[in-house]
Structure 1
Amino acid sequence: MKLVENGGEYQSLKKRIDELLQKGREQAGRAVNTILVHTYWHIGRHIVEFEQGGKQKSDYGRELLDKLSRDLTLAYGKGFSRSNLVYMRKFFRSFPKSETLSHQLRWSHYFEILKADNDLEISFYIKQCEKERWSVRELKRQMKSMLFHRLALSKDKPGVLAIANKGVDIQKPEDIIKDPYVFEFLGIQQ
């Protein structure tokens, strides 16, 4: 068979390879994100259960997270600020069983969702992110517009949801790979 760059057979081959590469990158991104989310959940678990004995604060108080942040940042680089460790701890407390974690959401989603005021609001935003496939940017927009609170106060819940879903930014594989948490977790330069 003669190779003709513009030939239909060659273009078909190239298209199949493009699809395989795209699918492989998507799967790799999802796998890395799942591992990252579970790793941060386990870090939160260790902070709560082992270092703090299940109490709200450790006997060392603020010093524990400050020291842990310094040591982890020195050893592993960015991503282990005191604030991030506080969110990892809250993450474990909000989801005491790892099986309840969504494989559709990235750490960036959870990080934003954990800023919510209560467990019902956290649950609402997780379900909406899964159902509507919200990007982190869309999640932030919905939280800033207080969608949960507007729905709670509204008599026209379907109408509020319909308005809220306009402009939803569907997540692309490129968005997953560009997530700075993935780069930090893997130690990859951006």
Structure 2
Amino acid sequence: MKMNFEKLSLRIQQTSDYLRTNAVKAVNMHITLRNWLTGFYIVEFEQHGSDRAEYGVKLLENLAKRISVKGLTAPELSRCRQFYQRYPQIHALLEKDLKSFLPDVFFEDFIIENHSLSILGSATQEFYGSFQEGGQSHLYGLFQSVSYSHFTELIKIGDSSKRRFYELLILETQPTVKELKRQIDSLTYERIGLSQNHQHSFAEVLRSIAPQDIQDMVKSHYFFEFLNLAQPKLIEENELESALIEHLQQFMLELGNGFCYEARQKRLLIGGEYYFVDLVFYHRILKCHVLVELKTENAKHEHIGQLKAYLSFYSKNIRAGSDNPPVGILLVTSQNKTLVEYAIGDSDLEIFVSQYQLQLPDKAELRAFIEKELRKEK
């Protein structure tokens, strides 16, 4: 094999990176499996242990003291139990994909009889059944891809369809735990439920997790249910703006990754008159200002014209030399897509018109979409 110094150093670096990555994956998979098995053993003991009555509600505290395993405190043992109860279908992985992880002697205790699943309720049994029919591969993909910390976020979700949606999101994007929490907290699942085109909206979410360009940064639909407005149809623009600022953290989560708050009612002196931009942000990833105008009505051409003027002023007078051109987002209650197309069609400015919603959608129609996408992962 012919080799020079550059090839030598490159080959060692590649080998090291590959094996280190696989070592981390292996550790993550073993920890995840350990915690699931721990949950399984606890549930089995609570249901069928010969001396279970002696421990009662103190079981986990006594168990944590007895085993003295670092990290397996009583609260963590409780989380392991919940992990098993949320994912009983991992049993199928142990019979097939994960069997090499354990010596055969462990499988003498690991036989899930019908009584073990009966304690989980009809909804979980139904979910377990659908998993057995064709969802096994996607769960093994989760085992290979993420840490147990990701599962601790997933097991908090009681709705099985919603949980499967975030499983799909993990498989598609490999998010950090922090990013996964951000997607859950910003109600990504519910927001997609508002869309008439779930496939398109889901693609938008995937791009927004790591935006590469301006189009990735802006969503077609924004969801402000966290405002808890009693009469959303009667709200005025200044009230909506104030409510969003009062809930700035949730609002920032909804806007997406990379937004930094800069100003409210930013004053611009244009031709001797003062004008005010509702909200101004700076996007740290795409290096540009983002001007947001809020309207509690349908999109109108004068709204777009106003935003055009603000963007032109910002680009000429405020934009720093290293910044990209500013972006404008007009948030309205409803889009007139034809009007919007004509109003921004001849502009060289980055203007987007997005719809916002103040209430949660009906989630039922999402289930078929999620199942369809998960089947693609097989």
Q: TM-score, normalised by structure 1?
A: 0.72
Give 1:36 shift: 1.0
The residue that corresponds to 1:82 in the other structure is: 74
Query: After superposition, what is the alpha-carbon deviation per residue over 1:95-134, rounded to whole angstroms, capped at 9, x for unaligned?
Result: 2132144322210110111111222222221121012222
Cα RMSD, aligned residues only: 2.3
What stretches of structure 2 of length at least 5 have no aligned partner? 94-135, 211-378
Residues in 2 aligned to 1:35 and 1:112: alpha-carbon distance in whole angstroms: 18
Specify which of 8, 24, 27 is matched with residue 13 of structure 1.
8
Question: Counting strand residues as a fraction of each chain, which structure ranks higher?
Answer: 2
Q: Secondary structure at the match of 2:209?
A: coil
Letter paired with 1:149: E
The residue that corresponds to 1:160 in the other structure is: 201
Q: Secondary structure at the match of 2:47?
A: coil
The residue that corresponds to 1:133 in the other structure is: 174
Larger relative contact order (Cα-Cα within 8 Å, sequence gap ≥ 6): 1
Specify which of 24, 27, 31 is matched with residue 26 of structure 2.
31
Residues in 2 aligned to 1:54 and 1:120: alpha-carbon distance in whole angstroms: 31
The residue that corresponds to 2:288 in the other structure is: none
Aligned length: 156
Residues in 2 aligned to 1:151 and 1:25: alpha-carbon distance in whole angstroms: 37
Residues in 2 aligned to 1:18 and 1:127: alpha-carbon distance in whole angstroms: 32
Q: Judging changes above 3 Å, is the alpha-carbon distance between structure 1 residues 146 and 83 closer, same or farther for their aligned structure 2 residues?
A: farther
Residues in 2 aligned to 1:81 and 1:157: alpha-carbon distance in whole angstroms: 41
Q: Judging changes above 3 Å, is the alpha-carbon distance between structure 1 residues 89 and 54 closer, same or farther for their aligned structure 2 residues?
A: farther
The residue that corresponds to 1:91 in the other structure is: 83
Letter paired with 1:146: L
Residues in 1 aligned to 2:205 and 2:65: alpha-carbon distance in whole angstroms: 41
Residues in 2 aligned to 1:155 and 1:67: alpha-carbon distance in whole angstroms: 52
The residue that corresponds to 2:17 in the other structure is: 22
Question: Counting helix residues as a fraction of each chain, which structure ranks higher?
Answer: 1
Identity of aligned residues (%): 26
Q: How does 1:105-120 map to 2 (within 5 A)?
A: 105-120=146-161
Q: How does 1:40-79 map to 2 (within 5 A)?
A: 40-49=35-44, 51-53=45-47, 59=53, 60-72=55-67, 75-77=68-70, 79=71
Q: Secondary structure at the match of 1:76?
A: coil
What stretches of structure 1 of length at least 5 have no aligned partner? 1-7, 170-190
Q: Judging changes above 3 Å, is the alpha-carbon distance between structure 1 residues 61 and 124 closer, same or farther for their aligned structure 2 residues?
A: farther
Q: Secondary structure at the match of 1:53?
A: helix
Query: After superposition, what is the alpha-carbon deviation per residue over 1:45-78, rounded to whole angstroms, capped at 9, x for unaligned?
Result: 10111x21179xx754431122223334xx222x
Q: Is the 8 A contact 2:150 2:180 kept in 1?
A: yes
Q: Secondary structure at the match of 1:140?
A: helix
The residue that corresponds to 2:344 in the other structure is: none
Q: Secondary structure at the match of 2:158?
A: coil
Q: Is the 8 A contact 2:172 2:206 kept in 1?
A: no
Letter paired with 1:95: Y
Residues in 1 aligned to 2:185 and 2:48: alpha-carbon distance in whole angstroms: 32
Q: TM-score, normalised by structure 2?
A: 0.38
Letter paired with 2:59: L
Residues in 2 aligned to 1:162 and 1:54: alpha-carbon distance in whole angstroms: 47
Give 1:15 shift: 0.7
Q: Judging changes above 3 Å, is the alpha-carbon distance between structure 1 residues 110 and 121 closer, same or farther for their aligned structure 2 residues?
A: same
Query: After superposition, what is the alpha-carbon deviation per residue over 1:135-165, rounded to whole angstroms, capped at 9, x for unaligned?
Result: 2121111011111122234334234323422
Give the 4+ runs in structure 1 shifted more than 6 A.
none
